[in-house]
Chains A and B, each alone.
Chain A
Amino acid sequence: MTYKATKITIVSEKLIQSGITRIVEDEGAAGYTVIEGGGKGQHGVRSTDRPKVVGAFGIVKIEVVVADRGVADAIADKVAASYFENYAGIVYLEEVEVLRPKKF
């Protein structure tokens, strides 16, 4: 049996990871997952295979799954308002199905 939930994905600079996860927790999400990576966007290429002299300039993908759509919207809005004027980043929301709804 699965239940509906919302997944928020935030791709942004590793430098502001702690600020983003603080928002995620403050808004009441039960947890999150962080994956480091590379890619290409408006702010240029962020390579995963080149020596990164400045490690803090890599990017991270932060995934959060919440049961309440309102919480998801609040997280997305707050992250965008706090950081995306000056830092690189995108946010998207998806409807997902989860097992064990108590975990979210």
Chain B
Amino acid sequence: MDLVLDFIQTFAAQFQKPTLAFLLGGMLVAALGSKLDVPDAIYRFIVFMLLMRIGINGGMEIRQADLGAILLPAVFAVVIGCVIVLLGRYTLALLPRIKTEDGIATAGLFGAVSASTLAAAMVLMEEDGIVYEAWVPALYPFMDIPALVLAIVLANLYLQRKGGKSDERVRVWPIIAESLRGSALSALLLGLALGLLTKPDRVFEEFYDPLFRGLLSVLMLIMGMEAYARLAELRRVAHWFAVYAVAAPLAHGLLAFALGFVAHVTVGFSPGGVILLAVMAASSSDISGPPTLRAAIPTANPSSYIGASTSIGTPIAIAVGIPLYMALGDIVFGP
């Protein structure tokens, strides 16, 4: 009983944190029809800052890290990304009234990773004093790219079988190149390289790190507004997408938490790292994923996967997923 009470308390405390408050505030403001407007360029700059910060910090720490300890969590990240897509392919995509390629594209987006959700988790954990290896957020591409590639391959296989053509092979490399060139991963990889090869300690401590938290609050506001705006789109597609968008982030996060626990026991992966891995799995891509999918699976309806991800998946992952995994971490690893 104590355990349950403790869980609920930890959970409730998260809602008073500014990160979640800004997200809910954004939704509220949009629901009331406010004219509040954050320019697109600012949104993109914030995402760049967050990923640069994650990249530089990760790169700086990889310099001293034991590569063996990184390997298993990285492999798990790839496995989780692929399992999420396969789960979606054989549940959501088979449901009645769901176009198979819409279901696969949605699963791909949920397998991919959201930088904003990841950043929100980092700030919330730092507020609680939960430590993690700085390279953990940099595992992002290990989950993101395999998930998008697998979803695109599965969708094309399905469409070919339906169309009766079987000789055309899906070219995987252009999809990977496209993902790496996207704005999110470019910033992350550049940051990693800078952290690894140069000495950016001063600029990191004086610029990227202090601005991280404040910019994240603005980003959360934008995400909240966007989530509300996209709800209207989701209403026009099958209800199963909404059901999936609520259940999937939580299921994916728990699966990743379990795998992360295995890494904790075997290679000493930190409890904070386990929580972050769960958050990555729970998150669904909002920047680089949608255009990649739209270009590679043109017959899939973007309202279904973007609506499911942006309007329900991301708020659930941030507002329910992150507190849930942090509370779970408290119970499993002790406060």
Is the C-beta of A99 less than 8 angstroms from some C-beta in chain B?
no
Known contacts A51-B39, A53-B310, A54-B290; decide if A87 and B298 are in contact (CB<8 Å): yes
Please judge, given known A-B contacts A86-B298, A87-B298, whether A54 and B225 are in contact too, CB under 8 Å: no
Q: Distance (Å) between the CB of A86 and the closest chain B CB?
A: 4
Determine the chain B residues whose CB is within 8 A of the CB of A56 once the complex forms.
Answer: 290-291, 294
Lowest 9 A-B CB distances belong to which pairs?
A86-B298, A56-B291, A53-B226, A54-B290, A51-B38, A51-B222, A52-B40, A51-B43, A86-B299
Contacts of A96 in B (CB 8 A): none
**Considering only CB atoms, which chain A residue lies closest to B302 in the complex?**
A57
B303 contacts chain A at the CB level, 8 A cutoff = yes
Q: What's the Cα separation between A50 and B43 when bound, in Å?
A: 11
Extra inter-chain contacts (12) besides given A51-B38, A54-B291, CB under 8 Å: A44-B233, A44-B303, A51-B43, A52-B43, A53-B222, A53-B226, A53-B287, A53-B310, A54-B287, A55-B44, A57-B294, A87-B298
Of the candidates A15, A53, A86, the one having the most CB atoms from chain B within 10 angstroms of its own CB is: A53
With contact pairs A44-B233, A44-B303, A86-B299 given, residues A53 and B43 touching in the complex (Cβ less than 8 Å): yes
* Residue in B225, B287, B291, B294 whose beta carbon sits within 8 Å of that of A51 in the complex: B225
A53–B223 CB distance below 8 A: yes
Interface centre among A15, A52, A54 (most CB of B within 10 A): A54
CB neighbours (8 Å) of B144 from chain A are none
- Point out residues on B near A: beta carbons under 8 Å: 37-40, 43-44, 222-223, 225-226, 229, 233, 286-287, 290-291, 294-295, 298-299, 302-303, 306, 310
Q: Which residue of A lies closest to B43 (CB)?
A: A51
How far is A16 from B298 in the complex, measured between Cα atoms in Å?
11
Give A13 to B302 CA distance when docked, in angstroms: 12
A residues at B contact (CB < 8 Å): 13, 15-16, 44, 49-57, 86-87
Report A-chain residues with C-beta under 8 Å of the C-beta of B37: 49-51
Chain A residues within 8 Å of B287, by CB: 53-54
B226:A51 contact, CB within 8 angstroms? yes
Residues in chain A near residue B40, CB distance under 8 A:
51-52, 55
The smallest beta-carbon distance between B235 and chain A, in angstroms, is 11
Give chain A residues whose Cβ lies under 8 Å from the Cβ of B303: 44
Given A50-B37, A51-B222, A53-B43, residue A15 in contact with residue B286 (CB < 8 A): no
Contacts of A16 in B (CB 8 A): 295
Which residues of the partner chain B approach A87 to less than 8 Å between Cβ atoms? 298
Most buried by A among B39, B286, B298: B298
Closest-by-CB residue of A relative to B221 is: A51
Question: When chains A and B are docked, how far (Å) is the Cα of A51 from the Cα of B226?
Answer: 7
Q: Are A57 and B291 CB-contacts (below 8 A) given A44-B303, A51-B40, A51-B43?
A: yes
Contacts of B38 in A (CB 8 A): 51
- Complex: A54 Cα to B303 Cα, angstroms: 12
Residues on A with beta carbons closer than 8 Å to the beta carbon of B225: 50-51
